[in-house]
Chains A and B, each alone.
Chain A
Amino acid sequence: MILIVDMTSKKESLGYYEFVLPIAKIVKRFDKYDIKPYLKVPSLNLEKYSKIILSGACLRNSPRDIKNFKWLKTYKKPVLGICAGMQTISTVFGSSLIQCMEIGMKQVKTKKENILFSGKFKAFELHNYSIIPSQKIDVLAISRNCVQAIKIKDRPLYGVLFHPEVRNIEIIENFIKIT
């Protein structure tokens, strides 16, 4: 069972259809899933989930308050943060956000070998911020202007700034297959 965390503003907002359901459409081919709004996650029993995916959110959504994501510091199983999800994981682990707007298809270049993707590829971007990585983070990929993918050192917590649910769905499939 995989938990998909809805990072959009309200429970089942219009953004939910756009940023959460496309991920569920991919996950359901491999596993069962639950969808929960991010504010509910601290009160959940996360043990029943094998993995967690944090969705993206609308461009106008403000960066998330990291006090709602303290659970990430102790969670031991794989997590994939997409866009707002990556920004949140990164800030929980000491990074800061930096203005870096990209909208559209952009070239992404792998910087560090990893189990999710390799080489150069085009990806769908929809963000106003990227990150300045802290010491706890490995940068896995970059675009011309922004850090595009990260991993927390020694932990199975991944983040991608682009939207693999739009193009590059194999990245989500590779994440789901992590054993």
Chain B
Amino acid sequence: MKVAVLFSGGKDSALALHKAMEKEEVVCLISIISENEESYMFHVPNIWITKLQAESIGLPLIQKITKGKKEIELRDLKSAIKQAVDEYNIEGVVTGAVESVYQAIRVQKICNSMKLWCFNPLWKKDQVELLNETLELGFSTIISGIFAYPLNKTWLGKKIDKDMITNLVELRDKYKISPSGEGGEIETTVLNAPFFKKKIKILKHEIIAENNSGVFKIKEAKLARK
């Protein structure tokens, strides 16, 4: 079955993509760029990097810019999915939703109305298992956003490794932070994965942070040999 993957460039959509590639024929990626930094549906930091990631993976990318207002986002997502149907004959859509009923319901409704399959291969997955699986698969993922106490700017740009997962589990136990950022506590950007033909090399970045909120903005990056 030909499918499109909703791809934000973070660890969840990259892992969903990996699973989709194992079971179905992934023919394109869809990225929605939200102008609203508090988008209900779409991952925000470094979304532009999806273009480089898609190039590295070797898949066409459909990018749509949305104002990021609640229901307009969905209209724009539907239009991007429609483009994937028209251009790549997709029969299904894959998302990286893990816990968000809000996200899952909305994509399911769009797909059902378009008679498309909808798959959520990470649905309800244990968050620590999810992080460990990305490591076992060889993903190189950095923290590109922090949005919760007691996270601070020292986390930004750091690579997710075993020690960081241990730290996140401790924070979960102490502060009820979701280890994989399901409550929006952290955002991530994948720089390398087994299905990347080249890795992403960051050339320039900027850290913008205040107290327990901040982003690692990738200002310039290129593809480099793995």
Contacts and interface: CB of A to CB of B under 8 A. Distances in A.
Report if A and B associate in a common complex: yes
Contacts, number: 59
A8 to B, nearest CB: 10
A133 B116 CA distance: 29
Nearest to B115: A60
Interface stretch (A16-24, A65-73, A74-82, A150-158): A16-24
A60 B92 CA distance: 10
Interface in A92-117: 101, 103-105
Given A14-B94, A25-B126, A128-B112, A104 B105 contact: yes
Contacts of B120: 17-18
B112 A101 contact: yes
Contact of A103 (B19, B23, B112, B119): B112
Given A105-B101, A128-B112, A167-B101, A18 B123 contact: yes
Interface string A35-68: 0000000000000000000000011100000000
Interface residues of B, number: 24
Interface in B87-130: 92, 94, 101, 105, 108-109, 111-112, 115-126
B160 interface: no
B20 interface: yes
A113 B94 CA distance: 39
B118 A21 contact: no
B147 to A, nearest CB: 25
A165 B112 contact: no
Given A14-B119, A17-B19, A18-B119, A124 B101 contact: yes
Contacts of A59: 108, 111-112, 117-118
A58 B33 CA distance: 28
The binding surface of chain A is classed by DSSP as mixed
Given A103-B109, A128-B112, A22 B123 contact: yes
A21 B108 contact: no
A13 B111 CA distance: 18
A167 B121 CA distance: 17
B20 A14 contact: yes
9 closest A-B pairs by CB: A22-B124, A14-B119, A17-B121, A18-B123, A104-B105, A60-B117, A18-B120, A14-B23, A14-B121
Interface of B: 19-20, 23-24, 92, 94, 101, 105, 108-109, 111-112, 115-126
Interface of A: 12-15, 17-18, 21-22, 25, 58-60, 101, 103-105, 124, 126, 128, 165-167
Given A14-B94, A59-B111, 12 more contacts: A13-B23, A17-B19, A17-B120, A17-B122, A22-B123, A25-B124, A25-B125, A59-B117, A59-B118, A60-B117, A101-B112, A104-B109
